[in-house]
Every structure is written in structure tokens, then in C-alpha cells.
Structure 1
């Protein structure tokens, strides 16, 4: 049997330097509440929950965003070079939102992958499996990072 855990869960959070007390308000972010209430969202509206607006995320390597797409709009092609993205469609059709009468909405979560993970000496085959890619891609990433 294997048992694993964080020996000090408090080390996962970096509290604000301006206040010595951490209360529930520090760990609650209400800006995303009501995000999907608009019947007709603008062309593309992103509401973010990142470290800049939600300091409790400091030290977690995680951020979130909600995106609202009006009828017929799409999520422009883009990349996140230092993060893995999990996108969950919560309403509508997101494959270029072809609908002529229904907006689409999604929630995205991002986990930052530090570039140092490619300089740890972890075998390329393991990295390839972990990132669900192949060894040549891992080698290209390492080369691009100077690792």
C-alpha cells in the first residue's frame, strides 16, 4: 500500500504581504459568478481568475477563465506555451459555434508547466507519456527552451 500527501498544505498558498491575517475573503473569488447570465453575450468575452485578480492562486500554478461567444463567433487559434488547458463547454456548440441562434460558453482551467520540468533529467519517454505526445516533440520543446 502506498500513501502520499502534502506534509504542509499551508505551503501551497502564498499569503498577501500586506495583511498578516488570512480569512475566508482571501480564498473566495466572486467575479465569475453570474458570468453566463447574459442572454446575448458580446462577440467574445473572457472573464479571468488569475493571480493578478485573485491573489489566493499565488503558488498554485493554476488560473481559470470563462469565455462567452456570441452567435457565429469562434475561439481564435492560439497557444498557451507554458500551460496545459482544460476547456469545458457548458452551453452551445463550440466547434466554431456554427449555430445561428445559440451562443456558446465555456470554462477553461490552466495549469502552468514550469520550463524547468524539461531540465530535471526525467527520461524523454516518460515526459512524452506524461504530456501525451512523442519523444521528437519533447526534444523540440527542450531545444526551444535551451534545456
Structure 2
């Protein structure tokens, strides 16, 4: 993958995400996160702006592929305020997503962010599902240079149907978008949700639920 393609995706996604920022608007030029502060606030505490440097607004390494040698065949490299302290209060974050051939970024939600995805290498099938009671699926095949939006809070996924790896850059309208992977939350919670509750919810035998839970231990 050419670095120029990655850079183009980052610039495009970042510029659009800035316009979609969902976190509270800042009331000063910046609020560089103080990683050593013990103060608990909605976000991260600020350090003295006079102590800020260019390094507080910098991250290197998004050109490096993530390890997709896992059960789902994908890897997310998130660049948020924990990695760029200068993102604190600015309402945006960024992610590189690597997909092996046949790799899946499983159905999940971002409770605090809209996501805009740019494919920079390979091909993907992506989709999201609207809320109850409609539960309508929006599905689209994407190729290099294509862009797709996942509205805030809705379940969505990406699947690499190609025979070669794929890469996408995602911009998110929060410095801490959060992620809830549906299968992990339902079948891998600690403590676990009662088998009877899940069996009734999914209309299957409890033995099926036990088998599914075993995959997330």
C-alpha cells in the first residue's frame, strides 16, 4: 500500500470528522491532556498550556499494518486523546483498520460517535442497521477511495470479501468514541447474562447459548 494513499485517507477523514464533532465545544485554543493528573473529569484534565509542545499534537506509526492474526481477521489501531494528548476536548479521533483476506470487523456500535470510513486499499462490504422497530439494513460494497458513513450509536460492520488484505481509515466525532462489540457484550460479559434470559431473547435452546458463551471465555 502506498503511503500517499494512507495520507489522503487520513486527511479526508479528519477534515470531515472535524465538521461532525460531537463532543462539547472547547472554550480555549486547546486543552492538552495531563496524563499524570489524578483528577477525574468528563474527558481528561488539562495541563498548563504554557507547557504544551508540538509533540502533544503528534502521532507516528499509522503507516504500519496492524496484526490481523486473530479469530476475526481484523485489527483496529485507534488514535485518540490517549495517544495524542492535544486531541483532548477537540471532539475527534482516528483509526486505522486492517483486514486480512476474509477478515471481519464484527458488528459493533460507537455510543458517542458518528464514523466516516475511507477505504485506502482493497475492497469491503459494509453495513449498518437502523433502530427498532424497523431494523433496516443499509449495505454497500466499497473499493479504494470510497467513503461510507455509520450514524452514531447504530450497529455496523465491515467485511473484506477480497482475496488480498484491505485497509481503511475511520474518523470519529468524539475524542473517546467507545466501542461495544455486540457478540462480546452479549456472550462475553462478566458476570455473564443468565442463559435463560439469552435463550428467550434469541429464541434458541440454552445449550446453544452455552456453546456461544464458551467462544468468549
> Structure 1-normalised TM-score?
0.59
Moved more, 82-91 or 21-30: 21-30
Alignment of 1:83-122 (within 5 A): 83-95=113-125, 96-100=159-163, 102-112=164-174
Kindly indicate whether the alpha-carbon contact (under 8 Å) linking 2:31 and 2:49 is maintained by their aligned counterparts in 1: no
Alignment of 1:28-107 (within 5 A): 28-32=58-62, 34-36=63-65, 41-42=68-69, 43-95=73-125, 96-100=159-163, 102-107=164-169
Question: Structure 1: which 5+ residue stretches go unaligned?
Answer: 1-8, 114-147
What's 1:144 paired with?
Answer: none
CA distance in 2, matches of 1:19, 1:30: 22
CA distance in 1, matches of 2:64, 2:76: 9
Kindly indicate whether the alpha-carbon contact (under 8 Å) linking 1:61 and 1:112 is maintained by their aligned counterparts in 2: yes
What's 2:28 paired with?
Answer: 11
CA distance in 2, matches of 1:88, 1:106: 5
Kindly indicate whether the alpha-carbon contact (under 8 Å) linking 1:50 and 1:57 is maintained by their aligned counterparts in 2: yes
* Structure showing greater relative contact order (alpha-carbon pairs closer than 8 Å, 6 or more residues apart): 2
Structure whose residues are more often strand by fraction: 2
Question: Structure 2: which 5+ residue stretches go unaligned?
Answer: 1-25, 35-46, 126-158, 176-217
CA distance in 2, matches of 1:92, 1:51: 29
What's 2:155 paired with?
Answer: none
Report how many aligned residue pairs link the two structures: 101
Aligned CA RMSD, in angstroms, stands at 2.6
CA distance in 1, matches of 2:28, 2:78: 24
User: What secondary structure, in the 3-state scheme, does the structure 2 residue paired with 1:77 have?
Assistant: strand
